[in-house]
Amino acid sequence: MEVDKVLAGDSFFTTRLNDVIGWSRKFSIFSYPFVTACCGMEFMSVSCSHYDIDRFGAGLPRFSPRQADLLMVVGTISQKIAPVLVRIYEQMCNPKWVVAFGVCTCTGGFYDDYATVQGIDTIVPVDVYIPGCPPRPETVLDGLMKLQQKIQKQKQAV
């Protein structure tokens, strides 16, 4: 079956609105990189041509939270910057997702001390956790695909 023959003429297909919205949303992720620490190096590595996060439709970082769907929290979050993170999250429009990138954002990592938030899920809701110190680019892409599956399956708010 050749695709161009199938698509020719008046052909159509049926689907559910929820699925088609999910399908379009998962391939047009605009991320806001909230980069505070060394995990940022791995984020750059994923973003650039070698691993190329753009293959998954998440290649365009927006540096305004109002234009972003995905809050990428990359690196250690200290108690001092926690109010900023919460404010950035609140400024984002729905639908929005949060990825905890690296072990410091997941649990605080080895910074079990007075200065560090023990996991950003204590202050903002998190959709996908990417572990690692720092995570390998493959792990990041795996986490991104997990997020895409989640977006595809969820009930779409319109």
Partner 1 sequence: MEQSEIVRSIREKISNDVLGYHSYCGDETLVVRREALFNIMKILKEEFHFEMLVDICGVDFLGKEPRFEVVYHLNSLSRKMRLRVKVPVNEGEEVESLVPLYPIANWLERETWDMMGIRFANHPDLRRLLMYDGFVGHALRKDYPINKRQPLVKPKNEYR
**Residues at the interface with partner 1 (CB under 8 A):** 79-80, 82-83, 86, 113-115, 117-118, 121-126
Could you tell me the smallest distance in angstroms from the CB atom of residue 26 to partner 1?
23
The nearer residue to partner 1, 141 or 147, going by C-beta atoms, is 147
The nearer residue to partner 1, 27 or 110, going by C-beta atoms, is 110
Place of tokens 């690692």: 132
The nearer residue to partner 1, 52 or 113, going by C-beta atoms, is 113
Could you tell me the smallest distance in angstroms from the CB atom of residue 135 to partner 1?
21
Could you tell me the smallest distance in angstroms from the CB atom of residue 87 to partner 1?
10
